[in-house]
Amino acid sequence: MPPLASARTFTPGPLRGALDVPGDKSISHRALILGAFADALIEIRNLNPGRDVRATLEALIALGASVEGNGSTVRVRGGRLREPMGAIDCMNSGSTARMLLGVCAGADVRARFDGDASLRRRPMEPVAAQLRAFGAKIETTDGTLPLLIDGTPQIETRRFILITPSAQIKSALLLAGLFARVPVTILGDKRSRDHTERLLRYLGAEIAWDGMRVELLAGPTRRDPIDVAGDFSAAGFFITAATIAPGSACEIRGVGVNPTRTGLLDALLQMGADIELRNAREVAGEPVADIVVRHAPLRGVTLGPDVALRAIDEIPLLAVAAAFAAGETKITGVRELRSKESDRVAAIERLMAAVGIEVEAAPNGLTIRGGTPRGEGASVDTHDDHRIAMATAVLAAGAGPLAIDSDASIDVSFPAFLDTLRSVQHA
């Protein structure tokens, strides 16, 4: 059942103390899926508790995987997958839809995919087109959900060139090869997030990648437990809030710092942020560190598409930081934001307007003219987008009171966000 919606007002104040964030959402999806490939139990710890990951877990059960446990620790066993009794409900999760399409293509499973109203607006044809080249039979609804995959009668292409440098599409192709037990090669990547590759290698798969080319030759051979690193995207809200709110000094513990995800860190450091990584280590193939952040004055910068690709989920936070920076900040490579849970370019424009900051939007870029943002109790329409709801809280930490129309969407990725913010924010 969806959570009850509630309007909410966020207040200003510095962030002080230490906190933990939930397990990484992207890694959690992949850990569950690779668990469903194995014919023996794999334990997954620190699983992300959000609704998106729940969508993947329930979809895998519908496809025939066994899941034991509930909450942050589960044990998954796969085997031969089967046609589900009804449609797979991907809820609001594009990751669930796109990656499980790859699973069904490789496992030669017939399944119908659907999702909520927001997910039904998001493009599925790019991943469907590449899986059709693999041999899958896929019918979309004008390029979107609902869709029907009727298995893969005969495997055709095993060598792909990515039409779009998307980690979800790349992962769908890797999973198609994995579940079909055939080698695949993928060209044309542009250093998109590599969680699938790292997790496959951690589990003993024969795989190589260099940021442009991926080659999967053989599947996993180990069933080692998977500890999911702390979610960098979740940490990003606190990193940004501590940077812009005067008097802040905050530590976020156990955060994944995979370089394909840390564009926000690189951008904030370029802008003058005071951020330090401590206690670097590796967890289940992923680099992890504790992140210490203190308030610092910022300056406007120009950020190219390479940064945007590694910070695509954090662009609203970069816009928040830019609102407090001296001068202009230009961000290019943001076209993908138009087709997220909401049109996030339009959402950024609304967010900045709420605090009196000027934004100029281009087809593939944003220019934010920094200044002195002032909240003064303005209300922001989130369009049920979890990242916009939480970004509003971040903006309020430095700009003053801001309200949102609904906090229900926060459960998609970070159900404990409000309590965590309350524990470290001081009036």
Cα–Cα nearest to 151, from 80, 207, 91: 80
416: Cβ contacts below 8 Å, ≥ 6 apart: 22, 49
Sign of CA dihedral 147, 153, 156, 157: positive
**Under a CB-based contact definition with an 8 Å cutoff, are residues 351 and 426 in contact?**
no
Rounded CA gap, 13 and 424, in Å?
Answer: 10
Rounded CA gap, 180 and 152, in Å?
Answer: 9
* Annotation says 313 is catalytic: yes
Rounded CA gap, 406 and 315, in Å?
Answer: 21
70: Cβ contacts below 8 Å, ≥ 6 apart: none
Across the beta sheet with 66-68, what order do the strands follow? 66-68, 74-77, 42-45, 226-227
**Under a CB-based contact definition with an 8 Å cutoff, are residues 296 and 274 in contact?**
yes
Options 313, 384, 407, 411, the catalytic residue: 313
Cα–Cα nearest to 36, from 73, 78, 81, 84: 78
Helices (H), 288-416: 305-310, 315-324, 344-353, 386-399
Rounded CA gap, 234 and 27, in Å?
Answer: 13
Cα–Cα nearest to 130, from 159, 88, 97: 159
**Under a CB-based contact definition with an 8 Å cutoff, are residues 90 and 103 in contact?**
no
Estimate to the nearest angstrom the gap between the alpha carbon of 85 and the chain centroid: 29
Rounded CA gap, 4 and 139, in Å?
Answer: 34
Rg (the chain; Cα; Å): 21
Positions marked catalytic: 313
